[in-house]
Structure 1
Amino acid sequence: MTAEPTSGSPDPAATTVIPETPTPYATALPAEVTARWQARFRAPRVSLPGWAEDAPHRNLYTSDVSGVVEQYAWDRGTDVHRQATDRPNGTLIGTLSPDGETIWWFADTDGDEFGIWMTQPFAGGEDAVAVPEVEPAYPAGLEVGRTLSAIGRSTDDGSELWLAPSGSAPRVVYRHPDPASVDALTRDDELLVISHSEHGDPRYPALRVLRTADDSVVAEKWDGEGRGLHALEFGPRPDDRRLLVGHERRGREELLVWDVVADTEAEIVLDLPGDVTAGWYPDGSALLVGHDHAARSELYRYDLTSGALERLDTPPGVVRGATARPDGTVELAWSSSERPPVIRRADGPVVLSVGDGEPPAAYPVEDRWIPGPGGDVHALLVRPQGEAPYATAFLVHGGPEALDDDSYRARRAAYVDAGYAVVHVNYRGSTGYGSTWRDALTGRPGLTELEDVGAVYDALVAEGIVDPARALLSGGSWGGFLTLLGLGTQPERWAAGIAEVPVADYLAAYEDEMEGLRAYDRALFGGSPEEVHDVYVRSSPITYVDAVAAPVLVVAGANDPRCPIRQIDNYLGRLQELGKEHEVYRFDAGHGSLVIEETIRQVEVALSFALRKIKP
């Protein structure tokens, strides 16, 4: 590799630009170790297949078997698989029409998430623009019915929701400056549910039911400030008016069934400690319930008549998705921190595999509950070989409304292969620990989460697990934001940092990001930068760049609509002006990459940086 100083740096030796070429970036790891961690990324993955309601033998799934994430059609009757999309930067989103005749897929440009819906015959053929009248935008939901389709789009002007009836001109049924989305459609196409945030906070959406014949409002439901409602799906019968809804009236995600015509509801109270979500069994008599608690998940069958709750026998780990087939069998996507992902039936048999073998096993996680300023913080620890204290990588998740869990993570395992302990912190703001925990960062984002990261760091240092002189902070997206903010506000803790697709200059990020994220930021910060300027400044990494003492690697996507490139360049410019040691890797995609070799390249760059700055 040839390292070149960035133009204008007062200290050329302090800045390294990593060339955007596929040339291997030496990590100084033994060849067998490199081969092992790369094999986890290269092993083909596949999503839980979605199936057509009226033709359940026709399925659509996402896979990276070609080396790029694309959409695949699968006829289970003939066991014929066909790659439906083929684009340089991949295709992440797709669905099937109810009759199984048509594949819908979203076409953006180089990962920028801005584009249009396309269609393709299930059996193969020419792609076509699904609804030419709907101009390019960020997607905001899609419901494909039997006689019409509902399409949500988001732009800087706000949200537009369209109905496109077969044989009639498409029309806008909803338009508003605040975020809204298409959520659910009855099987007879007569009623459409949308979610909206007219009350001003997109984190807690309200629901509205529209009659598709004339766009009239049938029903409304909102639980008030700080309580969101999420439309999951209508019941499976053609005349079903039961809508399955997620609510958080008691401080966690729970379920209710809402008859949208009668405007009556029945809460489903389950004796389970964590968050729950659900889908219908095909006959409408029961729900397939997913239960998430303490970074793990499990499945249940809930009988709507008797109220009986039956646990399905799945091994400990994480279920990424599950569906009940017309014959009553349940299929799910499962993995654990040690075992790689598999698409299987709940009773054991593998349903779908696209590779010849499975990737290397990974490492088990240990649970730690550590006292923090806002309550006990759940952390996950993975130990490498050798004796503590360890050089440790704190890998913080994005979101912030997400979590780290007991699932198979190739990136986590790569750091352990390299000799580092890994710590994940499900800080305040994470999901899975109740709405109070999730919402605790409101008005003080970034700094709140880092208090919890710091509490876990201090406890593990005191326990003799983490070597305080060899601690790395790293994350992507919101985790990248926390990394840069942590390097500036906690410089005494971190020996190096790796920030991937981060928020780095929040004022500039707000100006350039997609409107849906601006609305989210206004809710999170308590207003726009014009209204609460100091709050944005207080939580912005660029505010604290003078205090950064550790070397930092920044990985940035040229077409990223979520963490745009200009605000990253602003931060890098300040690092250059101050002569701070840093390296930069840019890639030609958006908020991450769907190309497996590009992902491997990014991990290779990160590991090389870590190994040069912090010896395990």
Structure 2
Amino acid sequence: MSSEAWRDRFRTSIVEDIRPCPGALNLEMVYAAGLSDAEVSIWNPATGENLRLPDLPPHVANPLPAADGSSVLVLHDEDGGEVGHLWSYPVDGKPVDLTPELPPYTLRGIDVARNGSAIVISTVTDEGFTLYHLADGAAHRLFRSRNEAWNSRISADGALASIDTTDHNPGIRRFAVTVLDTSDGAVIASVSDGPLAPVRGVRFSPVSGDPRLLVSTERTGFARPAVWNPRTGERVDVDAPELSGELVPLDWSDDGARLLLVHVDRGIHRVYEYDIQAEKLLRVPHPDGAYFFPEVACAVTNQWASHYGPGGQIRLLRQRADLPFDVLALDRGESEPRSILAPEAVVAGIPLRSVSVTSKDGTALQLWVAAPHGASGPVPLVLNVHGGPNLAEVGGYDPVAQAWLAEGFAYASLNYRGSVTFGRTFREGFWGAVGDRELEDVEAAWQWLVGAGVADPAAVFITGASYGGYLTLLSLGRLPDLFAGGFAFIALADWKLAYDDMHPALQAAWRSFLGGRPETAEERFRLSSPMTYVENVRAPVLIYQGRYDTRTPARQAEEYARRLRAAGGDVLLRFFEGGHGPIGNEGVVGKFELELELARKALREEPWS
């Protein structure tokens, strides 16, 4: 493939999310990364019509459809900084600020009543974590706490709301679920499985008047679904002891009789239904691939997820490393799903395979890996570490990974300790010693890739975004002999400087993970910061940062680059005009083009700066 052919992978819009519109209509919202910015449309699977919404604000992330597809809800912020107000953008008509009377906030939860009567949002400001009920043109406060409280949900008829809270266990991110009456904010009930086992709300029953809430609990140490009635206390747990790994709840059928679940075992997805009345797990036929993408640090529970359509139809949102979004439909009684929204035509790619790696202390890790066509021995390799940390690499479509492979580089992506869908112990494995266990996992992945003959040990590059950018910089300082270069995107370089500048929602999270505030956990902040190890860095470094990012702010990246230069390091700092990541393909293309040029320079032993 020619040196420019990788660009073909970015010449079409890339679908990133498809969500059902609340209400009785058979409509879905489609969110895509377009050539220059996000694209949002309302799709009718029955007719194939796809109505594009014009005039959305720039930097749109995590939009949500309102009732019956009449509008799309987005956080309208300044320059992608994730602090602003929730706006409604109608298919026809003028956009409206839904909370004009509130101070600017970060959004950490949003849900729409199925009957269209109300919206609930979880906001974070310096005042704390607040649950608001938006109805009749006003925002009514239902709940507020200084402790972390995220992930708002609302019942089908708008009568009940839920929020995940930590008031029972302040400062520790293991949630319980509290359900409130939306008419007056009175607490109906709470559900907790004790101090060690978090419970999170997923979705209320879609049946009007049915108060049952689908939750995810980790009382076994791994995610399992439960259906809980906050009015009666009745609870149905789906323990599924025959399944290893996690059983992640995604959705209810529209009659409230079945649940849609994904079994995740060592990173591999298998879809199930659960018949509540019959108490029976039913395997759903489907091809291999990823069927949801977990998200715990934004306004939505999953970046995208398979779900039910009308009449109990299962809509399987499927991705694979070499295959963009493919929407498959499976009606009751059918034995094979059929495609109802074919993936975009893209240049043929290479699938990633899942392998097991053992870390220093014996912990089992999962690694996705692929070699370029024609590779018969070790080649240069790009090792990706995902963000979060409480996210996961699911092996979904990634045109950047395919571009590296097309250019002759092997590619690997690691689920390190801190990743979700591998159990509570694994997810919490970095608590109190941020960076230590993750770097043991990075080193184990490097050793496996070199030992298996995939990677040239002198030509391994590490890359990552957000927390992955943090681990990139930390690896370069604490594992200086392993990497030929590092590409740190929207990276965290110094915990103290970043904490001072980041928005309150992130401050609360990192107080939990690091064990306190900078003044009470000073040594941990120092030991966990890449800034502490700049004098050890030997490889060249690219830092690509958003000017208005409130998660990984600009000041700390600038100071890291300054100190690394003063220590004689080879560092290139670039800013883009935006927040926590560019949205459109053009920004991704520019970033990859620069990284590819720098990787080739490193292989020729030429400096980056």
TM-score, scaled to structure 1 = 0.90
Partner of 1:27: none
Structure 1 residue 289 corresponds to structure 2 residue 254: no
**In the TM superposition, what is the alpha-carbon distance from 1:61 to its structure 2 partner?**
1.8
Does the 8 A contact of 2:105 with 2:124 survive in 1? yes
Specify the code of the residue in structure 2 equivalent to 1:276: L
After TM superposition, the structure 1 = structure 2 runs for residues 305-454 of structure 1, keeping only pairs within 5 Å, are 305-320=277-292, 321-346=305-330, 347-352=336-341, 355=344, 357-384=345-372, 385-454=374-443
| C-alpha separation in 1, matches of 2:45 and 2:20 | 10
Q: CA deviation at 1:173?
A: 1.7
How do 1:44-443 residues align onto structure 2 when only pairs under 5 Å count? Answer: 44-65=13-34, 67-76=36-45, 79-87=48-56, 89-122=58-91, 124-145=92-113, 146-166=116-136, 169-198=138-167, 199-201=169-171, 203-270=173-240, 271-278=242-249, 279-320=251-292, 321-346=305-330, 347-352=336-341, 355=344, 357-384=345-372, 385-443=374-432
Cα distance, 1:66 vs structure 2: 5.5
Deviations 1:480-509 (A, max 9, x none): 111111111111112211111111011101
- The 3-state SS of whatever aligns with 2:358 is strand
Shift of the alpha carbon at 1:229?
1.0
- Relative distance call for 1:75 and 1:416 in structure 2 (3 A) is closer
Give the 3-state SS of the residue equivalent to 1:91 in structure 2. Answer: coil
In structure 2, relative to structure 1, the CA distance for the partners of 1:378 and 1:76 (3 Å cut) is: closer
**SS in structure 1 at match of 2:311:** coil
1:9 equivalent in structure 2:
none
Q: Deviation string for 1:441-492 (max 9, x for gaps)?
A: 1111112101111122223334443322222121111111111111111111
Report SS of the residue matched to 1:245: strand
For residue 374 of structure 1, report the CA deviation from its aligned partner: 4.3
| 8 A contact 2:535–2:567 mirrored in 1 | yes
Note the C-alpha offset of 1:578: 1.8
Q: Distance in 2 between matches of 1:63 and 1:452?
A: 33
Task: Tell me the CA shift for residue 178 of structure 1.
Answer: 2.4
User: In the TM superposition, what whole-angstrom CA distance separates every residue of 1:220-253 from its partner, at most 9, and x where no partner exists?
Assistant: 1222333211101111221111111100011111
* Partner deviation per Cα, 1:561-582 (whole Å, 9 max, x = no partner): 1110001011011012122111
Following the alignment from structure 2 to structure 1, what is the Cα–Cα distance between the partners of residues 235 and 278? 17
- Cα offsets for 1:502-551 (capped at 9, x unmatched): 11011101111111111111111111111111011001000000111111
For the structure 1 residues 244 and 508, does the alpha-carbon distance in structure 2 shift closer, same or farther, using more than 3 Å as the test?
A: same
AA aligned opposite 2:127? D
- Tell me how far apart the structure 1 counterparts of residues 585 and 272 of structure 2 sit (CA, whole Å): 34
Q: What is the SS of the residue equivalent to 1:220?
A: strand
Work out whether residues 42 and 67 of structure 1, in 8 Å CA contact, stay in contact via their aligned partners in 2: no
> d(CA) in 2 for partners of 1:56 and 1:217?
32
Please state whether the residue corresponding to 1:404 is helix, strand or coil. coil
Residue 46 of structure 1: SS of its match in structure 2? strand
Structure 2-normalised TM-score? 0.91
1:355-377 per-residue CA deviation (whole Å, 9 max, x = no partner) reads 5x334323432523335324222
Alignment partner, residue 479 of structure 1: 468
Q: 1:76 to 1:441 in 2, by over 3 A?
A: closer
Which residue of 1 is the match for residue 298 of structure 2? none
- Residue by residue over 1:87-137, the C-alpha shift from the partner in whole angstroms, topping out at 9 and shown as x without a partner, is 463322333333443432221222111111112333x12111123223321
Rounded to whole Å, the distance in 1 between the matches of 2:24 and 2:34 is 25
Over 3 Å counting, the alpha-carbon distance change for 1:80 and 1:421 in structure 2 is: closer
Q: Contact conserved, 2:26 with 2:310, CA < 8 A, in 1?
A: no
Is the CA contact (8 Å cut-off) linking 1:70 and 1:92 kept in structure 2? no
User: What SS is found at the alignment partner of 2:261?
Assistant: strand
Give the letter for the 2:518 counterpart: P
In 2: Cα distance, 1:154 partner to 1:575 partner: 34
What amino acid sits opposite 2:307 in the alignment? T
Q: 1:527 to 1:65 in 2, by over 3 A?
A: closer
Contact (CA 8 Å) 2:120, 2:152: kept in 1 or not?
A: no
Going from structure 1 to structure 2, the CA distance change for 1:312 and 1:137 (only over 3 Å counts) comes to same
Task: Tell me the distance in 1 between the aligned counterparts of 2:186 and 2:395.
Answer: 45
Q: 1:164 to 1:475 in 2, by over 3 A?
A: closer
Amino acid at match of 1:609: L
In the alignment, does 2:457 pair up with 1:457? Answer: no
- How far 1:85 moved relative to its partner? 4.3
Q: Kindly state the Cα deviation for residue 52 of structure 1 after the two structures are TM-superposed.
A: 3.3
State the match for 1:608 in structure 2: 597
Whichever residue aligns with residue 225 of structure 1, its letter is P
* Bigger Rg, which one: 1
RCO higher in structure (CA 8 A, sep ≥6): 1
Taking a change above 3 Å as real, the CA distance of residues 570 and 224 of structure 1, as seen in their structure-2 partners, is farther
Q: How many residues align?
A: 582
Q: Contact between 1:70 and 1:86, CA under 8 Å: does it hold in 2?
A: no
**Aligned residue type for 1:231:** G
1:274 corresponds to which letter in structure 2? G
Quote the Cα distance in structure 2 between the aligned partners of 1:341 and 1:354.
Answer: 5
Secondary structure of the residue aligned to 1:485 is helix
Q: Deviations over 1:275-302 (max 9, x none)?
A: 1222101111111112222222121111
Distance 1:615 1:223, change over 3 A: farther
1:209 aligned partner, one-letter code: V
SS at structure 2 position matched to 1:327: helix
Measure, in 2, the Cα distance between the counterparts of 1:396 and 1:49. 25
Q: Pairwise CA RMSD of aligned residues? A: 2.1
Distance 1:386 1:268, change over 3 A: closer
Work out the CA distance in 1 between the residues paired with 2:322 and 2:602.
28
Q: 1:554 to 1:411 in 2, by over 3 A?
A: same
Q: Secondary structure at the match of 2:310?
A: coil
Percent identity over the alignment is 29
**CA shift at 1:76, angstroms?**
4.8
Structure 2 unmatched runs, 5+: 293-304, 331-335
